[in-house]
Amino acid sequence: VRIAAWYCRPAQRAERTPAILFLPGYQMDPPIPKDWARKGYIALSVAPRGKLRSNRQYNPGYPNLLTHNIVDPHTYAYRGFYVDAWRGVDFLRSQPEVDSDRIGVTGSSQGGGLTITTAAIKPEIRAAAAGCPYLCGYPDSIELTQTYPYEEINDYLRQYPDRRQAVTDTVAYFDGINFADRITCPIIVNIGLQDNVCPPETGYALFNRIGSADKKLYTYDGHGHDAGRVTHSAVTDAFFARHLKGEG
């Protein structure tokens, strides 16, 4: 499968520059990461299979992605999605202008969930910032919310009730909570306490499982799925500046 991505570089940069891997939300198109480049990072915004120009060979559509081949862990949609995100790290490390010892990863919602699994599987990641992580705590999420995308699973189970055990077995392989204890890099997580898309209970459960000794959870009361994004952006900027640039 051919995967597309946006690649941005600072106009003025060192011979080897720190990099940020940006991972997209469920329905959003991967943005051009110009803002990260303006902050002094080489930035890669990956379009996993089914997104933008990565949909020519594989395109389950929206809705449908969450339940596409959900009864088989070998062909489940997120198997490929996760690998595409991880390959973004490999691409950045292959670029001579990237300092491969200073790569961070970030995203919100689906991007937050992909941030968790990427930080867990790719030890080359030096810092991670995950916002309102989706794909974490599947079983609890489908009980706690009737909001899409998680409601896609409930719709599927209403149509195919005999497949419940197969679905449960499959999503266990891809649940970010089951990856979290492998994370060793510094990481911050932000959640909205009134989030009806990615329930905050799953954010707490995820955070408690993260293996890194350097971790911090930011909770935003009065906020839903935005997870305090406007306020928290300054926290994220300072976090990456400290861990990837040595500032602060």
pLDDT one-digit tens code per residue, 206-236: 999 999 999 999 999 999 999 999 999 999 9
In whole angstroms, what is the distance from residue 94 CA to residue 113 CA? Answer: 24
Separation of alpha carbons 20 and 6, rounded Å: 12
Q: Is the peptide bond before 30 cis (omega within 30 degrees of 0)?
A: no
Residue 227 belongs to domain spanning: 4-244
109, 141, 223, 243: which one is catalytic?
109
Q: Is 237 labeled as catalytic in the residue annotation?
A: no
- Check residue 178 and give its pLDDT: 97
Q: Which two tokens stand for residue 77?
A: 């949609």
Q: Given this model, what pLDDT does residue 137 score?
A: 96
**Could you give the residue ranges of the DSSP H alpha helices within the chain?**
34-38, 77-94, 110-121, 138-144, 151-159, 164-174, 200-209, 229-244
Q: Does residue 68 have an active-site annotation?
A: no
Q: Please state the pTM of the whole predicted model.
A: 0.94
pLDDT of residue 60: 63
Residue-level pLDDT at 49: 78
Per-residue pLDDT at 83:
94
Average pLDDT per block of 10 residues along the chain, 248 residues long = 89 91 86 95 90 57 82 94 94 97 97 98 98 96 94 96 97 97 99 98 98 99 96 98 93
The residue written with tokens 């081949």 in the block is 69
Catalytic entry in 45, 108, 223, 225: 225
Domain count, the chain: 1
Taking residue 176's Cβ as centre, other Cβ atoms within 10 Å add up to 28
- Intra-chain end-to-end CA distance of the chain, in Å: 41
**Contact present, 44 and 22 (Cβ < 8 Å):** yes
CATH number of the domain within which 49 lies:
3.40.50.1820
Q: Which of 68, 195, 232, 243 is catalytic?
A: 195
Q: Quick: pLDDT tens for 26-46.
A: 877 788 999 999 999 999 999
233 counts as catalytic: no
